């Protein structure tokens, strides 16, 4: 009986640290729902995001630094796993029907593969910071910067705009805005253009 009670308490504790959040995605005529499921176990954060055929699975430290990332898209015959070990990103799997294996050396910045998820925590009490991430469409490693901008009132909710962009000479070629609820520190909106001039703006909002 004592063992059964212990197992039940463990399950309840695990469930208390699990939650699912949905976001509406819009880009021109394309619309879909993105589902984020977060859980905490063994001093790690686990996040799974699903949008159509795309599935992303992340393992992070409790301060939101990415340790590993898995990305699969059966429609594109893609199944990739990336692990950061001793400052080296190790990528293995299949990318667009081809066997893929590559390594990158980190410049020492934290790896935030899903910046929207951890931005509220990472930007707290900061005006800017740099980080690294890997683009899913080309699997290249990029150095990025987050800059805190103005706080706006959205129907009674205080939200901070945070601009995300490439660094150095490439800064002018990419930029997007994330909005964080100042009270919950949760990501609530995204606005950005992924493509050449004329590409519809991508908008993501919390449901």
* Structure confidence by residue, pLDDT tens digits, 112-171: 999 999 999 999 889 999 999 999 999 999 999 999 999 999 999 999 999 999 998 877
As for how many domains the chain has, the answer is 1
Domain membership flag for residue 168: yes
Model confidence at 196, pLDDT cuts 50, 70, 90, reads confident
Q: Please say if the pLDDT value at position 9 is more than 70.
A: no
Domain membership flag for residue 115: yes
Q: What is the pLDDT of residue 5?
A: 42
Name every residue whose Cβ is closer than 8 Å to that of residue 128 and which is 6 or more positions away in sequence: 145, 146, 147, 148
Q: Please say if the pLDDT value at position 2 is more than 60.
A: no
CA distances from 73 to 43, 85, 137, 152 (A): 29, 25, 11, 36
Q: What is the pLDDT of residue 159?
A: 97
CATH number at 199 reads 2.50.20
Place of tokens 């998820």: 117
User: Which tens digit of pLDDT belongs to each residue from 33-68?
Assistant: 999 999 999 999 999 999 999 999 999 999 999 999
For 114, how many CA atoms within 13 A lie in the half-sphere containing its CB? Answer: 25
Domain membership flag for residue 153: yes
Q: What is the pLDDT of residue 195?
A: 81
DSSP 27: E
Domain membership flag for residue 55: yes
- Collapsed DSSP state (helix, strand, coil) of residue 114: coil
d(CA 63, CA 60): 8
CA distances from 175 to 22, 141, 148, 205 (A): 24, 16, 13, 18
Asked if residues 23 and 204 have their Cβ atoms less than 8 Å apart, the reply is: yes
Domain membership flag for residue 12: no
φ/ψ of 46, rounded to 5, equals: -115, 130
Domain membership flag for residue 148: yes
Name every residue whose Cβ is closer than 8 Å to that of residue 100 and which is 6 or more positions away in sequence: 80, 91, 92, 93, 94, 139
Domain membership flag for residue 6: no
Domain coverage including residue 101: 19-206
Q: What is the pTM of this model?
A: 0.88
């Amino acid at each position: 009986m004592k063992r059964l009670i212990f197992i039940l308490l463990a399950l309840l504790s695990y469930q208390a640290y699990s939650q699912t959040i949905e976001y509406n995605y819009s880009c021109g005529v394309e619309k879909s729902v993105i589902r984020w499921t977060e859980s905490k176990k063994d001093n790690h954060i686990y996040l799974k995001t699903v949008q159509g055929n795309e599935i992303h699975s992340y393992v992070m430290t409790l301060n939101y630094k990415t340790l590993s990332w898995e990305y699969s898209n059966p429609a594109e015959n893609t199944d990739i796993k990336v692990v950061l070990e001793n400052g080296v990103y190790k990528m293995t799997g299949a990318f667009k029907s081809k066997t893929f294996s590559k390594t990158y050396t980190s410049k020492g910045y934290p790896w935030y593969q899903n910046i929207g998820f951890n931005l509220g925590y990472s930007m707290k009490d900061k005006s800017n910071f740099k980080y690294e991430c890997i683009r899913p469409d080309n699997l290249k490693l990029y150095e990025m910067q987050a800059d805190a901008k103005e706080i706006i009132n959205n129907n009674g909710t205080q939200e901070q705009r945070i601009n995300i962009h490439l660094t150095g000479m490439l800064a002018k070629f990419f930029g997007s805005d994330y909005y964080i609820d100042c009270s919950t520190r949760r990501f609530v909106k995204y606005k950005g253009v992924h493509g050449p001039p004329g590409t519809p703006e991508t908008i993501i909002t919390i449901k």
